[in-house]
Structure formats: structure tokens, C-alpha cells
Structure 1
């Protein structure tokens, strides 16, 4: 069996200083490490600013010590440009890469620049792709990641009350239509005038819910078996039965020779 143990960091909005927040992150890594987690997924923009080198080194050292990879949402600044970013730190404490949110809501466009890449991280446990919140509502990103070989999609979210009526539909659809596992970590609790929903979720490639958090702080670790992807794919095999040449003919944007 190819098992990945995913920890969902359904944590409250931190109003601590950067130093204390980084310490809180390290404590969460240690806690899920004791539960044998492979990777800990934090919510969207868990850090509302970019961590400095000292902070990154502290997170990386904790990740290495407990052999837990970390996916952390933060506000990235590059020169005068800001991105809503997910940073991927490996189990050895190395920076594996990052993903910049591609789809931005209207108010986000006043703050952030959209990303333009869909990386897949090829890890010993399996291949992982990242998405952030609103990306989930567009089928294109998850399909690109699946075509690139992703077996697990990790979604960083910051969804508030009242809950979006179709959130579970999107989670199930992205899993089912791409034959992948999908795990989402959401913020929870009160932050100023905003009340975050929680309900972080893990979905099976057959579209069924494996685990769903409450509306309170949680730090669960969920085991998924990547071998179950083949069974879920079955005869439907949506990826294999795609018709890229037809899509290109209809102006979808890919030439018949492209794998996408």
C-alpha cells in the first residue's frame, strides 16, 4: 500500500506577532509528527506576511526534526508585487517550491497578482499538487495537475460563514473527475468581523468524504491509500478517454499534439 498521512491544520486566525505565530506552527508540526503525519496542510494566508529567513529556518528545522512536510499559506512579496502563495517545505526541511494562487476574486485583485504555474511535487510518498481556495471552483487547474500526474491535491482555504452552498460539490467533483484525493484545510473562528467556517475535508477519488472537521479548532491526521485510485478510476477513466484534438478544434486552447 502507498499510504500518505495528511494532517489538516484547521487552526484559528493568529493575532500573535510573527515570532509567536512561527512558534505556534512549530508546535503544530511537533504535535502531528507524534501522530506520524507525513505532511501538514495549513489554511490560506495563515501568515498574512512573508516570513523572514530566521522564521523559515525555524519551521524548516522543526519539519526536519519531526519528519513532517509543511504546506504554508502566506503573503509573498517579490519586489513590488504581492502573491497569495503556498510554500512547500519538505520533510528534510528543504524548500520544495511554491504555488501562487491563479484565480483571484475581485477584491483580491486590488492586493495580489495572479500566479501562472501549476507545479506538481514528485515526492517519495506520491505526487502532490496545490490549489488555493477560489481555484477549487475552476476545473482547469485540478485537471492540469491530474494530467501532470498528481495523485493528491492539497487546497488551502479561508472560507467564511455563511458557507458557500456548493463547497462540498466542488471538492467531490475535483476528486471524482480527476481520479485524485483532495484535502482542504480551512481557517476557523472569529477574525475581526469575519467568522471562518472550518469544516476542513478529505475526499476520496470516488467522490465520497473520508473525513470532515467540525467548526472548531482541529488538527487531525488522515491516512489515505493511493492504491485506491486505480479502483476508483475503473472503466470510466476520464483522463484516458479525453479528446484533446476535439477540444483544440473547438478553440479550447490546446493543439492536438499537446498532452493537455
Structure 2
């Protein structure tokens, strides 16, 4: 499976520009022969406008679906369309949509852990469910930015049988080391591929890290981005997952009766 991660530099509070730019970048990524193309977190508005957020947001994912469903079908690719600021039932969610090659929505996920240090919980609603899905027969999961710090969440997805985790983010440059270490640790401890797509550039006072990273289940780096806008592409050999889980079977050797996680 060939995956392209789009490390996008979006403009804060300018969805018209961001939609057009995202489409342009997806078309460029498709030219690499990618099977799956990913975008970062809240690329439609940036992270995140303090004023007029509701007015700038998508509505029930209508614009994302109208844009990327037909585009996925036209290009014949799967698109993990990052996440968008999205109004549903009068509340704003940080929502990810994933499209298969036929342009169908195969997954939608609301960010479950909102980044309270930046006040995300004052503007967005918490998601309340985990999501897994299949792309080209590969079992996948998705988390959004701050979610990656919560090992219980990722292990719960792993126990549902995923081999590939997508992480979409707006991770700041200040904590670049955390970004690389957390994604690497999740890959190793859960014995799965991790495709972590971050944004870049500056929004308000925050400089975003870039450094999107694609990792194999050994925690080896397949490709690592720099700080600027770019498209990173790697081929994932899913047979590696079965091999490592047979040689070091942590799932068999778990002792969940001893774990008290509440």
C-alpha cells in the first residue's frame, strides 16, 4: 500500500483558500501513484480561529463530502481527509472523514480528547466513540492530534484489529520531540504502521512543527518530513505486521486482568 501524507500549510480562517489548496495538493499526491492520501487536522480553517469559528466551519461535513467524495472517485484513490471544523446539531466538532476509491464515506470520527491547554474544549464538543474502517482490505483506525498522547485509546483501536493507524494533527514546533516519540512508541507497542500527518506554517502565535512521519511496526522511520509544506510518500508492506506479531506476540502475552485503567 502506497501512502502519501500531505504536510499542508493552510491559512487561518480562510476556508475558500484552504479547500482549493487541499484539492491541488491531493491531485499532486495522486500523481505519485498513492493508494491512500492524507491531510492534517482542521485544514479547512486552521487551528483555530478565535472569532467566527461557527460561520467558517463546514456543516454536517457537506462541503468535505461534496469535494472529496467525487475527487476520490475521479482519481481512484482513498482519501483520509484529515479533519475539519464541523457544525452538527448546533455544536462544533473536530471531525475526520475518510473516503474510499468509490468516493464513499467509510468513516467519520470526532476528536475525543480536546486540547484544553489551548482552550479547544471551549469551542469544540468532545467526540464519544472510536472508529475503525477498511481501505483496500486493510483494517485502519484514526486519531486526531492530542489523542495520540492517550495510550489507552490507541491500544483500544489495536485490540479491534487495526494494522494501520492514521494520525492527523496540528502539532506545535515547541513539542516536536514529543510528536516523534509518541508516534514511534505507539507504532512499536501496538505493532502496527503509523502514518502521522502534521501541518506546518504559523497560525496566530503558534508555529507548527511539520515533521510528518510514516513508521513501520518496528518503529523504523519510512519517511520524515521537514518544517515546510511537502508531500511524503512511502510503501507499506503489511506482511511485516503479521511477522512481528508472530515473533513477539504481545497480544497473546497481555494480562488484562491485572490492569486497572479507569
TM-score, normalization: structure 2?
Answer: 0.87
Deviations 1:23-79 (A, max 9, x none): 222222221211111111111111122166355323221111111222221012112
Q: How does 1:51-200 map to 2 (within 5 A)?
A: 53=62, 56-72=65-81, 73-106=83-116, 107-200=119-212
Evaluate the alpha carbon distance shift between residue 160 and residue 252 of structure 1 in structure 2; reply closer, same or farther with a 3 A threshold.
closer
Gaps of 5+ in 2: 46-56
Deviations 1:187-233 (A, max 9, x none): 11122322111000011101121110011111122111100112222
Equivalent residue, structure 2, for 1:225: 237
Gaps of 5+ in 1: 254-260
Equivalent residue, structure 2, for 1:50: 58
In structure 2, C-alpha distance between the alignment counterparts of 1:134 and 1:54, rounded to whole Å: 25
State yes or no: 1:23 paired with 2:35: no
Evaluate the alpha carbon distance shift between residue 178 and residue 55 of structure 1 in structure 2; reply closer, same or farther with a 3 A threshold.
closer
Aligned residues: 247
Equivalent residue, structure 2, for 1:12: 9
2:141 and 2:162 in contact (8 A); partners too: yes
**Once superposed, which parts of structure 1, at least 4 consecutive aligned residues long, lie more than 4 Å away?**
none
2:176 and 2:209 in contact (8 A); partners too: no
